[in-house]
Amino acid sequence: MKIGKDVVKAARVLKAGGLVAIPTETVYGLAANAFDPQAVVGIYEAKQRPSFNPLIMHTDSLTKLRTWVEELPPLANALAERFWPGPLTLLLPRKTLVPDIVTAGLPRVGVRIPQNPLTLSLLTQLAFPLAAPSANPFGYISPTTAEHVAQQLGEKVDYILDGGPAQVGIESTIVGFESDGSPTLYRLGGIALEAIEAISGPLKRFTLSENPQTSGMLKSHYAPRVALHLGNLEELIAEFGTQNVAILSFREAVKGIERSLQRQLSPSGSLNEAAQNLFASLRELDQLPVQYILAEEVPAQGIGLAINDRLQRARFEHRQKPAEK
């Protein structure tokens, strides 16, 4: 079986240069030995991801991590102590032993200690870090279950470690440190901005652009194939009608549209539950025979900011022209 809970098998595959999908609390990752450039090439190929796009290195210990980075600024250390294991990625100056293919030649490397018992137990068995992007084809919605990975990349991975549905459901928050030591937010994510700023003080914000350094900065990303429109649901329905549409709402279903064409992120109004359900709901709606997905934002606080960020990037208006072959 290609899907299972066999950590020893996963370790064996990774040591031999193979690809293993790993569960994390945010989303599933597509992992390889970060110190084996040929294995890392396999990640880019499987995802069809442009190679200018750097990967996050995952490990289980700060002690190991210190041997791979030039320095851990005091603020980075404070954030690591507070939030690891957890959905936070830090961009730190890399040592030269970190291969160029992992950082796409950039001077910093993204690192994080994920919170998932199976993956932590796997990482303790490995001397090397795991380079892992989200385990989805480039630009598509990130996977939050082993089945999501199997559906899209099943042929291309050697093993899928099944840790159940992701508990957080949205990718890690990314914080980098500039050369003057000031912290910058590169991606909203699973740790609320407020919680980080309580320790770091105000973060500079990196704005989305058409010509990004990294995919997390792409305006269009995490997108379904069906055109998604984001706004006030009543207004969207007035514009697009009730035929051929699917609805993604925060708490309440829309009256007058079949329930099987609708998903509510959290009927009880919990933002954590909404984050857990976001990507699976988008995938389900993307399977329906409809022309449009009409969606609304959630309250803009805590992890709600990251949910709205993902919804904005899933918008049809932000979809870029397909790259020329």
Residues of the shown chain interacting with ligand TXA in the complex, contacts defined by CB under 6 A: 24, 26-27, 29, 53-56, 87, 89, 91, 103, 106, 108-110, 114, 132-134, 171-172, 174, 186, 214-216
E-state strands within 94-187: 108-112, 130-131, 159-161, 173-177, 183-187
Beta-carbon neighbour count of residue 117 at 10 Å?
11
Q: Does 144 bind Mg ion (CB under 5 A)?
A: no
Output the smallest distance, CB 87 to Mg ion, in A.
13
Chosen from ligand TXA, Mg ion, none, partner binding at 237 (C-beta under 5 to 8 Å by type): none
Q: Rounded CA gap, 294 and 283, in Å?
A: 14
Nearer to ligand TXA among residue 236 and residue 305 (C-beta): 305
DSSP state letters, 202-241: SPEEPPPBSS-SSGGGBSS-S--SSEEEES-HHHHHHHH-
Chosen from ligand TXA, Mg ion, none, partner binding at 53 (C-beta under 5 to 8 Å by type): ligand TXA
Output the smallest distance, CB 317 to ligand TXA, in A.
20
Q: Rounded CA gap, 197 and 234, in Å?
A: 35
Q: Rounded CA gap, 193 and 29, in Å?
A: 23
Q: Does 89 bind Mg ion (CB under 5 A)?
A: no
Output the smallest distance, CB 106 to ligand TXA, in A.
5
Nearer to ligand TXA among residue 106 and residue 288 (C-beta): 106
Q: Rounded CA gap, 275 and 74, in Å?
A: 30
What are residue 169's phi and psi, to 5 degrees?
Answer: 95, -5
Closest residue to Mg ion, based on beta-carbon distance:
134
Nearer to ligand TXA among residue 27 and residue 118 (C-beta): 27
Q: What six digits make up the tokens of 29?
A: 């990752």
Chosen from Mg ion, ligand TXA, none, partner binding at 99 (C-beta under 5 to 8 Å by type): none
Q: Rounded CA gap, 266 and 294, in Å?
A: 16
Region 102-141 residues binding Mg ion, contact defined as CB under 5 A: 134
Q: Which residues bind Mg ion (CB under 5 A)?
A: 134
